[in-house]
Structures are given as C-alpha cells and as structure tokens.
C-alpha cells in the first residue's frame, strides 16, 4: 500500500512532548517499510488544502494518523480526521468523533458519567459554564483537587502546583489563575490518592485485546510529595519524577480481582466510546479498592520504548505486529 504518515509540524523551539511525534513517525515508518509498504511522511499545519494536494499527488491509499495537535493546540486534534472522512481517505486509529470526545476531558467525563463508568468528581470547565458534576454536590468542606487542561494531553501543565486544597466555591479564582498556563481551558478534578494503572487496548481480527496492565510506581516519594504522573515524570529524563515512576507489570495474585475489574472497565470504554485501532485507559484506584477512570487516550504514544509498546511486549506482541494490527484494524481486516 501507499501510506502517508501525518503528524504535527515540529520546530526546534518546540517542547519535548511535541518533538516526540518525530520519533513516533520514524519508528512507524521503519515498521511499515519492513512490512512492505511504500511510505511518505507529511508534516501538517492549518493549510488543509495543501495537505489534500499532497495526499492526492502521492496517491495515498491509507493515512497513518499521528496528529496530536495543530499549531500547539490540542483542541484541533480531530480536525485532520474529519477532513480525511470528507475526502474519503481511510486512516488508522480512532475516528474523528471518538478523537473529539475523548480529547476534551470534560466531555469525556460527562459521557462516562452518563453510561455509569466511574470517573472522579470535577468542577468546570473554565472559562465556560462552571458547574459541579452530579457526583459532586455543592460542598463547603475542603478537598484536594488537581487542576488540568481540558484539551492538552502528555501531562502538559500537570505539576504539583496544580494540586490545590480548596472548597468548591474557592475553585473558580484558582481555575482563572491556572488557565493561562493550560492553553486557556481548564477544570478541577478531585485528587484520587492511591495506585495508578495504564490499560492499553489493541484492535484486531478477534476484537479489542486488553494488553497486560501496567502499574505506575512512585518510588522514594516523601509522604508530603503527591504521587502524580506530572510533566517531568513523562518527559524530563534527569528529573526525580522521571527516574522514580517506573511502570510495573508484575502484579501479584492478590491483585487478580482488581486487574479483572480494570480490564472490564477498559473493554467498556472501548465499547461505549466506539474506539478503534488502539487506545490507553488511565485509572487511579483509591485506598478502598475503587477504580476511577482519569482519561481515555485515543491514539496514544506508540514509541517503541513507550508504555503502549511495553504492554504489547508483555503480551508477546512485537512492535511491527502492533503497527500491522493497527493498519489491519483500519482496513477492516483486509490488507
């Protein structure tokens, strides 16, 4: 097949998380070429007519979609898939609709709440309509909240200063204060103290396969240091957080019932949000053993040394097989 890999335009001054897409694109390109495909690589900005011309000129039969934002705006992640739908060019991964719903964290949480999927109570979004969700009635007591971007992923803007102790009434000025650092739109989510898990899901001929569960460990964290996967933990290699938050696949037999529950939740997310190709579900489990879904990541990072690939290896699936299955899922089981 003639396949075009599409990703964001990346410059020298861009952040570590933005530059990561170039590593993904190079890795995917190598895997596709090993599988025998003819591969082009296209950096895409807001000039969508130019993109259409490039795809037509190269006679692209399939797009491998690695778009994570456009011009630094995560809220535009679904724009290219919608255009590809209109142009009738097939693409890998999740649909434009699934990308739009899951990438807006508040929209995703509202959908989870509507179908009975457990998600942590929240307030927001700011600057739009501020309201508590139905699981969070007006409360005068102080709680620990984490302030997050509505649209940006890769833990952008997530750091310890985003953890605040406040009543629901006190959150509005705090949201206003943090919005400038979170691309303008943010919300507050009740902080779930406990364990953190990633569940990667890969499409296939026999339906979605939930790969081995990974727990994120917080090693050497002082009692007063919040256990969160912040921006440093994901991207800054010489930071304490990066070096002390390894993923662990060696869960004990005692964790068997919990793992089964997490797998069931991952499967429900795949079904309720009509996911396809590949996805990652991030969850926290509180001290009572109750799991809470934090985010649904459609088209997560698929670097060979990233979390998704690591889960695949644990499931005896090679990187080339991951790429082939993503492509196969996009083709409806036909190559």
* Domain coordinates in residue numbering, the chain: 2-91, 121-190, 193-213+249-330
Q: For the segment 219-274, what is each residue's pLDDT rounded down to a tens digit? A: 999 888 888 888 788 878 888 988 999 999 999 889 999 999 999 999 999 999 99
Nearest to 215 by CA among 200, 231, 232, 230: 200
pTM beyond 0.75: the answer is yes
Q: For the chain, first and last CA: distance in Å?
A: 8
pLDDT digits (tens, 9 = 90+) for 90-141: 999 999 999 999 999 999 999 999 999 999 999 988 887 666 554 444 556 7
pLDDT digit string, tens, across residues 181-234: 787 789 999 999 999 999 999 998 888 999 999 999 999 998 888 888 887 888
Superfamily of domain 193-213+249-330 in the CATH hierarchy: ATP-grasp fold, B domain (3.30.470.20)
Label residue 282 by pLDDT band (50, 70, 90).
very high
Q: What values do phi and psi take at 199, rounded to 5?
A: -115, 110
**Integer Cα distance of 212 and 315 in angstroms:** 6
């Amino acid at each position: 097949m003639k396949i075009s890999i599409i990703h964001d335009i990346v410059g020298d001054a861009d952040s570590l998380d933005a530059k990561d897409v170039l590593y993904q694109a190079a890795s995917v390109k190598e895997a596709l070429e090993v599988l025998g495909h003819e591969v082009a690589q296209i950096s895409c900005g807001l000039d969508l007519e130019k993109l259409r011309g490039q795809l037509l000129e190269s006679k692209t039969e399939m797009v491998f979609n690695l778009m994570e934002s456009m011009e630094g705006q995560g809220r535009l992640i679904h724009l290219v898939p919608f255009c590809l739908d209109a142009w009738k060019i097939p693409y890998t991964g999740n649909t434009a609709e699934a990308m739009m719903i899951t990438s807006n964290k508040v929209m995703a949480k509202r959908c989870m709440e509507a179908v009975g999927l457990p998600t942590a109570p929240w307030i927001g979004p700011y600057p739009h309509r501020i309201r508590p969700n139905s699981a969070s009635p007006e409360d005068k007591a102080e709680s620990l909240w984490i302030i997050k971007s509505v649209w940006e992923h890769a833990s952008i803007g997530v750091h310890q200063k985003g953890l605040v102790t406040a009543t629901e009434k006190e959150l509005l000025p705090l949201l206003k204060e943090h919005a400038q650092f979170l691309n303008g739109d943010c919300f507050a989510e009740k902080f779930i103290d406990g364990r953190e898990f990633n569940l990667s899901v890969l499409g296939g001929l026999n339906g979605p396969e939930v790969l081995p569960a990974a727990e994120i460990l917080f090693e050497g964290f002082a009692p007063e240091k919040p256990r969160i996967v912040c921006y440093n933990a994901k991207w800054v290699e010489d930071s304490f957080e990066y070096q002390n938050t390894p993923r662990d696949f060696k869960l004990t037999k005692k964790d068997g019932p919990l793992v089964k529950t997490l797998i069931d939740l991952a499967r429900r997310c795949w079904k309720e949000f009509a996911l396809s190709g590949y996805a990652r579900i991030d969850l926290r489990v509180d001290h009572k053993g109750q799991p809470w879904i934090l985010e649904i990541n459609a088209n997560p990072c698929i670097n060979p040394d990233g979390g998704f690939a690591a889960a695949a290896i644990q499931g005896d699936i090679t990187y080339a097989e991951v790429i082939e299955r993503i492509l196969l899922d996009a083709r409806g089981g036909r190559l």
